[in-house]
Every structure is written in C-alpha cells, then in structure tokens.
Amino acid sequence: MNPGARAALLDGRHSDPHMVLGPHPHTSLGIDGTVVRVFQPAAADCLIVRDGVATAMRDEGAGFFSIFLPATVMPFRYSLRFIAHDGRTWERGDPYRHAPVPGEMDLHLFNEGTHRQLWKMLGAHLREMEGDEGVAFVVWAPNADRVSVVGDWCGWDGRQFPMRKMAGSGLWEIFIPGLAANALYKFELRTHAGLLRLKSDPMGFKMQQAPETASIVVREDAYSWRDGHWMTTRKTRDMVREPVHIYEVHLGSWARVPEDNNRSLSYREIAPRLADHVKRMGFTHVELLPVMEHPFYGSWGYQVTGYFAASSRYGSPDDLRFLIDTLHEAGVGVFLDWVPAHFPKDDYALRRFDGSALYEHDDPRLGEHPDWGTLIFNYGRKEVRNFLVANALFWLNEFHIDGLRVDAVASMLYLDYSREHGQWVPNKFGGRENLEAIDFLREMTAAVREYAPGCVTIAEDSTAWPKVTHPISEGGLGFTFKWNMGWMHDTLEYFAKDPVYRRFHHDDLTFAMMYEGTEHFIMPLSHDEMVHLKGSLFHKMPGDRWQKLANLRALFAYQVTRPGKSLLFMGSELAPPNEWNHDQSLDWHLEQEPDRAAFKAYVARLGNLYQETHALWERDGEQGGFEWLDVADRDSSVLSYIRHGADSHALILLNLLPTPHQRYRFGVPHAGEYTTVLSSDAAAWGGSGYATSATVKTEGIPYHGRQQSIEIALPPLSAMILVPV
C-alpha cells in the first residue's frame, strides 16, 4: 500500500478510500489476480470468507489487512470476519467492493440543480447491492476534506467507514453491508482546517428525539395507503373554486393524556379523533404546524433541523402517514406549514455543514435573520434550491400532503427585511428585492404544479408584493393562495373596538375589499394572534361574556361569508378565555359550559352551511362573485353584501351594534321570498333569540339601486345569512 494513502487513512483525511481499500486487480510474481485490502482499526485479526471458507489475511499493522487472491477476477462476492483484541468476532460485507451508489442520470440532474426526487438519491437507503444487503449513504459536502459514516455500530469511529468523493459534484457516497432499519448514524466531516464536525443527515427520514440528534435508518415504501380515490381526484381539483375552510392544528397540544404525565397524543391516537372532530365542525382541511423534526418544542416546529424527518415526538413517519390517510378517508384535506426561509443554528444540523457556509450565506447581512436568531438559506446556490424544491415535493408526494403554507415569505422577498440602513446588501440593480429568493419561489411553485398536480401553495406574506398568486408567465410568483394579513389586522382591530366607537372605524372593516380582486386570498385567524400576550380571540372582544361570544359569532360568520377562503386556529371553536399554551391541551372542559357548548355548535353549523351554500365559494376569484348591498352605513354599524354563485346567491347582513334594528330595509336582486338559513343570534347558539322573520317576501320598493327590497329585523351583534326560496 502506498505509504501516503496509508497515512491519510490513519489520519482520517483520505477522500477516495475505494482507490486503496477493497478488491483491485494485481500481479504478484508474474501471476495475475486480485488483492483485497481492509482497514479496521478495531480488529486484531481479519479473515476473508468466500463460499463459506475463511482465509486469514495478512496483518499489516495499525488495523490494515490484505490478501492476494491469484487467478481471481473481479467482481466476486466475499465477506470479512473480524476478531477483536478481546476475542469478540463480527462479520460483514466489504463496503469498498461496491460501485458508486448514484447513477449517471442522478449525478447529471444533481449537478444541474433539477433533481426533483433528490431524497431518493441522497441520504440513507436500505438496498441490496451485488448480493449484499445494507444501507447506501450519499451526502453533499463539497468543501470537506473527508466524510465518514459513523454510528453506535462502529463506536462512532470516523476512521472505519470513510466515504468516496465523487468528482465534480461535491457528493460523498458509500454502501455499508449489514446495516438494517433503525440503525443510528451521523456524518463525520473533516474540514479544510482539520476540524471534525459531527452532523445529522440533511436528508434523513427520521431523527432521535431531542436532546439526542442522530439520524435513523428507516424502511421505505412500507406503508399501504388507503386514499387512492382521494389522490386520483386530487389531480384535477381547482381549490380556488372549491370550499376551503381550514382548521389550523398544533399536534402536540390539540389533546393530551393527563393521566400519563400529560403527554401528547401520538399520530395514530389523534388520527380518528381529529378526523371526526374536523368533519363534524364543517372544516374542509386541516393545516398542521410544521411536523418536521425540531429540537426546541417552543418553536412549534418553525425552527427545523430535519427537513425530511417527521418529528419522532408523535411516532414514526408511517404513523404520520396513517394520520394523513385517516383524514383523507374522512374527506378532509391536509395542508402543512413549510419553512424554507430560515433554519436554526444548532451545530449538529445544517449550520456550516462542511465547515463552510454551505446552506446559508457567509455574509451575516445576507445569511442571518435579526429577528429570530436563525440562518437564511442561500438561494443563489442551485444545490440549495434543489434541496428545498425537492423537500416541498417530498411532503406532497411521499406523505400525500395536499398543500404547503410557506412561512415567512415576506422575509424572503426583501433584503432589508427587519434590517436598518447599512445592515443589508442591495441586489445587483441596487434594489431591496431578493432576486435569488424570488427565483426560488417561482421555481418551487412551478415544480409543485408540474410534479404534484392539484396541490396548492399558500404564501404567508404580510407585504404588498404584487401578483403573489398570479401565474409566473404574467410576472407573478405562482402561488395558489396568499394569507390576507391586512384583512386579519384590520378586522381584529375593528372587532376589538367598543361598539359605541365602531361607526368611526367602519372603513377598517370594508377596506380589504378595495384590493380583494388582486389576489386569491385566505383569511387567517391563526395561532399567531393568540400567543405572546396577545390573548385569545374571546379576550380581544369587547363587552361582557355574552357580548364577547356574540361578537365572536359575528366575526366568524363574516370570515367565512366574504370572498376568499378561511382559516381558524384550533380551540377557537371553544372560545377559550386564555391564549394558546403549547405545553397544555386545548380547554376541552369548556364544552361543559352551556354557552360555550352552544358556541361550538354554532361554529359547526356555520362550517357545514358554508360547504352547503355554493354561492359562498363557487365564484371566489371572480369579479362577479361579490356585490355590496350597503357598504357605507357606518352610523348603524351595519354591513350587507351578496355572494353570487353560478346559479344562486346569498345575502349576508351584519349588525355590529349591541342594539337591534327593528326594521331595516335592503335592496335585493330578485322578487320572491328569502329564508334565513343562519342567524348567529338564535337562542340555540347562545344568542338573545331576538324575534326576526324566518321567511320574508320582497316588496316592489326600490332600494340600494334595486327594484325589489326586503324589510327585516336585525338582532344585536349578529350575522344573518338569507337565501332565496
């Protein structure tokens, strides 16, 4: 063996151990054959085993062994039997007899930055190669001097399984025979400075629970899906023109088991209970706060260390598949919060992965987030974009997720986001737009449309960036929906006002319609509004307990009847007095209180009525789908409008004062009769039960610019939905 290669292996800095170790053609004393070289520093002796026959190898010292096999032509199968200094023996195949794991097409797509199934090449995969069963490992670490796979099965010794660097790609690979599912592993990387870094797998499918940080080998394609019909029909769905009423869920605190140390429900335990609850409450989808592995529970999943790993807190990846499958069987779609904007500084994860700023920018003005103490992805690297785009497709295709709500889009769009003058770097044109991030978002939304048809992308963007939900061909970002943060802020500000002052703030409630047609919106009342001392929605409402609940009923009706889709954070159906606490279960005991039980029943009726009433969603995104009846009655704090469907319509009447209007006239589109399908003030929902007409006939009295009108009593702090008979 070349002395330099021997020294490099001993020192843990060889970048191509396959050139030295394993079988190689060799001629000795004029005889052609094969030499097999082995390095195993934990062994005192080594034997090569062929066809059941074990032959001792020559001990070359320091853990090196070799044997010359005359008249032996490669390839041939063999295993290695090691004898430790204490007499313990173990046997395995030789990792260094195998060809490279990635194929030519894999390498081409990776180098191009367009490998849309990157998770099938990189990471750890159970495979059979040339008769050996084991695990194939591939990792991207272009600036490392050496990379090894380590685990408890090798004493975490980085000298034992150094990987081969594949020229021109920055990829390192090895196939290790004998490893099986549930094996723990990490990558040990040697930097240019000679430092050793121990890293979890960026593509790992499972990780240990914090504070442990190893990746775990899993068996793939073991889950038998039951949602074939759902997945077939998903491809042709147009969610813009379907009912979308979303229940936002943090899995760890939806319900807990107090008699078992207050633990969270597992994926499998929560599945039937959540599916039944969501279905009964009239929600069409759940949106899960990030389920990717994260070390700090209080980050709610928004600081991800395992982008391809479902959190082990609640079970295995297949257990999560069971949850999604169960929801699909119940007819409930599943959206997932996804965080491509930033990642935490935990040193075992992506941070300075190979000793260099690999996934992040090296310049802190570009690579560090001042608000969250996290690192920002370098969207200018094709490999980083590929990692993130593939991650999006991974969840949509491998876990049957129906859509991704992309977190913190605003922070991605602007280079000066949360930065003062001098703390940010302009783009090449001198502007503040993050051109590389914009290109990434467009690449991602385009890839979702192509490789996960029927799935949606949702932007959480609080800025006025134009054309977020417009096609890329028209200069848009290509998202399906955008969270309407302006609506959320203005609406909550309005509803928090004492009703006596609401007439001075009427425009807060109506302003959002000025820009409604510019995007496809989702109106969120999310967890963000119920944490950090903001209080619960119930707490935000003015008045006594009855008025608070009445205001909430009107707010929720307004949310689901105006144009766009809606999202409500879990627990809001109980009107809890306190803000959300991720360390506790939802306040399910509130159902025992009669007025809150009635409130929950109201939320369920509202959700189901929304789905039944096509006019409330059928023409979302169309200019003719919404029409004001009266936008300007600020003195009465009354808001009225029409929702139009393809061949139907609904009237929505809101009285946002705690006093009724005994006789109130509205113009209507057609002559005939209208029936009240929902009054939030009904006694069944905890309302006052103020007398109002269940059915009302139109009169030929022109009003609101229409030839026909109706006169009806408006209960206090109420919302009414009327449809033609």
* DSSP secondary structure string for all residues of 202-260: TT-S-BPPTT---EE----S------HHHHHHHTT--GGGS--EEEEE-HHHHSEEGGG
pLDDT at 214 over 90: yes
In the chain, the largest separation of any two C-alpha atoms, in whole Å, equals 114
Regarding whether 37 and 137 lie in a shared domain, the answer is no
Q: Report H helices in 483-544.
A: 485-495, 506-510, 537-540
pLDDT at 642: 97
Task: In whole angstroms, give the CA distance from residue 431 to residue 685.
Answer: 53
Whether the CB-CB separation of 685 and 602 falls below 8 Å is answered with yes
Letter for the amino acid at 98?
A: H
CA distances from 253 to 456, 581, 589 (A): 26, 8, 14
Query: Confidence band (pLDDT; 50, 70, 90) for 532?
Result: confident
pLDDT at 388: 98
Regarding whether 140 and 196 lie in a shared domain, the answer is yes
How many CA atoms are closer than 13 Å to the CA of 36, on its beta-carbon side? 27
* Model confidence pLDDT, tens digit, residues 427-440: 999 999 999 999 99
Regarding whether 80 and 118 lie in a shared domain, the answer is no
**Angle CA(286)–CA(292)–CA(298) in degrees, nearest 5?**
90
**Angle CA(92)–CA(96)–CA(101) in degrees, nearest 5?**
105
> Residue 683 belongs to what domain range?
622-724
pTM for this prediction: 0.95
Asked whether residue 98 is assigned to any structural domain, the reply reads: no
Regarding whether 665 and 687 lie in a shared domain, the answer is yes
Output 657-663 pairs: Cβ under 8 A, ≥24 positions apart: 657/499, 657/502, 657/716, 657/717, 658/499, 658/543, 658/547, 658/550, 658/716, 658/717, 659/716, 660/690, 660/713, 660/714, 660/715, 660/716, 661/636, 661/713, 661/714, 662/713, 663/711, 663/712, 663/713
Task: Tokens for 418, please give them.
Answer: 């949360």
User: Tokens 């034992």 correspond to what residue?
Assistant: 160
CA distances from 18 to 80, 280, 390 (A): 16, 60, 30
pLDDT at 533: 87
* Model confidence pLDDT, tens digit, residues 331-360: 999 999 999 999 999 999 999 999 999 999
Domain boundary among 61, 93, 125: 93
Average pLDDT (236-245) is 96
Whether the CB-CB separation of 237 and 250 falls below 8 Å is answered with no
Asked whether residue 247 is assigned to any structural domain, the reply reads: no
pLDDT at 501 over 90: yes
Letter for the amino acid at 311?
A: S
Average pLDDT (277-296) is 98
Domain boundary among 66, 93, 120: 93
pLDDT at 275: 98
Task: In whole angstroms, give the CA distance from residue 79 to residue 590.
Answer: 65
Regarding whether 208 and 113 lie in a shared domain, the answer is yes
Asked whether residue 181 is assigned to any structural domain, the reply reads: yes
Asked whether residue 580 is assigned to any structural domain, the reply reads: no
User: Tokens 């009433």 correspond to what residue?
Assistant: 613
Q: Nearest CA to 519 among 234, 240, 286, 238?
A: 240
The DSSP letter of residue 431 is -
Regarding whether 185 and 159 lie in a shared domain, the answer is yes
Regarding whether 123 and 58 lie in a shared domain, the answer is no
Regarding whether 108 and 87 lie in a shared domain, the answer is no
**CB burial of residue 622 (10 Å; 0-12, 13-18, 19+):** middle
Whether the CB-CB separation of 616 and 243 falls below 8 Å is answered with yes
Structural domains of the chain, count: 3
Query: Confidence band (pLDDT; 50, 70, 90) for 620?
Result: very high
Mapping DSSP to helix (H, G, I), strand (E, B) and coil, where does residue 191 land?
A: coil
Domain containing residue 111: CATH number: 2.60.40.10
Domain containing residue 719: CATH number: 2.60.40.1180
Q: Which among 319, 354, 460, 573 is annotated as catalytic?
A: 460
Q: Which among 319, 337, 407, 579 is annotated as catalytic?
A: 407
Report the chain's mean pLDDT, rounded to a whole number.
96
Output 703-706 pairs: Cβ under 8 A, ≥24 positions apart: 703/665, 703/666, 703/667, 704/629, 704/630, 704/666, 704/667, 705/667, 706/667, 706/668, 706/669
Regarding whether 72 and 169 lie in a shared domain, the answer is no
Query: Confidence band (pLDDT; 50, 70, 90) for 472?
Result: very high
* Model confidence pLDDT, tens digit, residues 18-76: 999 999 999 999 999 999 999 999 999 999 999 999 999 999 999 999 999 999 999 99
Domain boundary among 184, 216, 248: 216
Asked whether residue 151 is assigned to any structural domain, the reply reads: yes
Q: What is the 3-state secondary structure (H, E, C) of 314-383?
A: HCCHHHHHHHHHHHHHCCCEEEEEECCCEECCCCCCCCCCCCCCCCECCCHHHHEECCCCEEEECCCCHH
Mapping DSSP to helix (H, G, I), strand (E, B) and coil, where does residue 272 land?
A: helix
Asked whether residue 169 is assigned to any structural domain, the reply reads: yes
Active site residue 407: yes
pLDDT at 1 over 80: no
User: Tokens 């272009």 correspond to what residue?
Assistant: 142
Query: Confidence band (pLDDT; 50, 70, 90) for 153?
Result: very high
Task: Tokens for 150, please give them.
Answer: 């380590």
Letter for the amino acid at 715?
A: P
Phi, psi (5° rounding) for residue 379? Answer: -75, -5
Q: Nearest CA to 207 among 395, 347, 349?
A: 349
Regarding whether 197 and 178 lie in a shared domain, the answer is yes
Whether the CB-CB separation of 89 and 80 falls below 8 Å is answered with no
Task: In whole angstroms, give the CA distance from residue 67 to residue 93.
Answer: 16
Regarding whether 207 and 149 lie in a shared domain, the answer is yes
Query: Confidence band (pLDDT; 50, 70, 90) for 414?
Result: very high
Q: Cis peptide leading into 211, omega within 30 of 0?
A: yes
CA distances from 623 to 514, 518, 617, 644, 704 (A): 12, 10, 13, 10, 19
Regarding whether 118 and 170 lie in a shared domain, the answer is yes
Task: In whole angstroms, give the CA distance from residue 80 to residue 470.
Answer: 60
CA distances from 597 to 554, 577, 688 (A): 17, 14, 15
Q: Would you say the C-alpha torsion 95, 99, 105, 109 has a positive or negative sign?
A: positive
Task: Tokens for 375, please give them.
Answer: 């690192």
Asked whether residue 6 is assigned to any structural domain, the reply reads: no
Whether the CB-CB separation of 331 and 279 falls below 8 Å is answered with yes
The b/e string for 652-672 (b: 16+ C-beta within 10 A; e otherwise) is: bbbbbbbebbeebebbbbeee
Asked whether residue 178 is assigned to any structural domain, the reply reads: yes
Q: In percent, how much of the chain has pLDDT > 90?
A: 97
Active site residue 460: yes
Average pLDDT (130-144) is 97
Whether the CB-CB separation of 483 and 459 falls below 8 Å is answered with yes
